Amino acid sequence: MYCICCKKNNVKPYTLGDDKEKTEEDLLWQNIKLFDDSRTINNQMIDGGIIQIIEAGYGSNHDGDRIIIAICDECIKQNLEDATLLYFDDYLFPTQNEKDFIQAEFVNPSKIKYRRRKNLDGLV
């Protein structure tokens, strides 16, 4: 899928097991109900970046729309550095010590960059 920043087609869903027969298009729009969960591109393995379905909330011109976006690893790195993207959390590390580390190493610096950028924008 094409990255929303650099516009390169370098973010790909992995095809494993039953998915080997599916095309990239099939994987992007799949919505399989499994017991109490759904299987969508949001919970598939991705090579080279992130592909997610985002949902427009109330107040957007796209209220209720669900849109598939992709961003490559290189653009994620660049956009985190300038606070265009903001680091929120890491869902893989559940213990408090790990959460404290993530907060100190990634979340707090992201907040500082965000504040700095917003303050600089306010001066211009």
pTM of this structure: 0.85
91 and 70 inside one domain? no
38 and 4 inside one domain? yes
Quick: pLDDT tens for 34-59: 787 788 999 999 999 999 999 999 99
Higher pLDDT, 122 or 47: 47
* pLDDT of 18 strictly over 90: no
- Residue 74: HSE in the Cβ half-sphere, 13 Å Cα cutoff: 9
88 and 123 inside one domain? yes
18 and 69 inside one domain? yes
99 and 48 inside one domain? no
The mean pLDDT of the chain is: 92
94 and 54 inside one domain? no
Cα Rg of the chain (Å, integer) = 17
90 and 65 inside one domain? no
Number of domains composing the chain: 2
40 and 101 inside one domain? no
Confidence band of 107 (pLDDT split at 50, 70, 90): very high
DSSP structure string for the chain: ---TTT--S--EE---GGGGG--HHHHHH--EEETTEEE-GGGS-EESEEEEEEE--TTSTTTT-EEEEEEEHHHHHHHHHTTSS-----TT--SHHHHHHHIIIIIHHHHHHHHHHHHHHHH-
61 and 10 inside one domain? yes
Domain residue limits at 8:
1-75
14 — phi, psi (to 5°)? -70, 145
60 and 18 inside one domain? yes
Higher pLDDT, 94 or 114: 114
113 and 55 inside one domain? no
3 and 43 inside one domain? yes
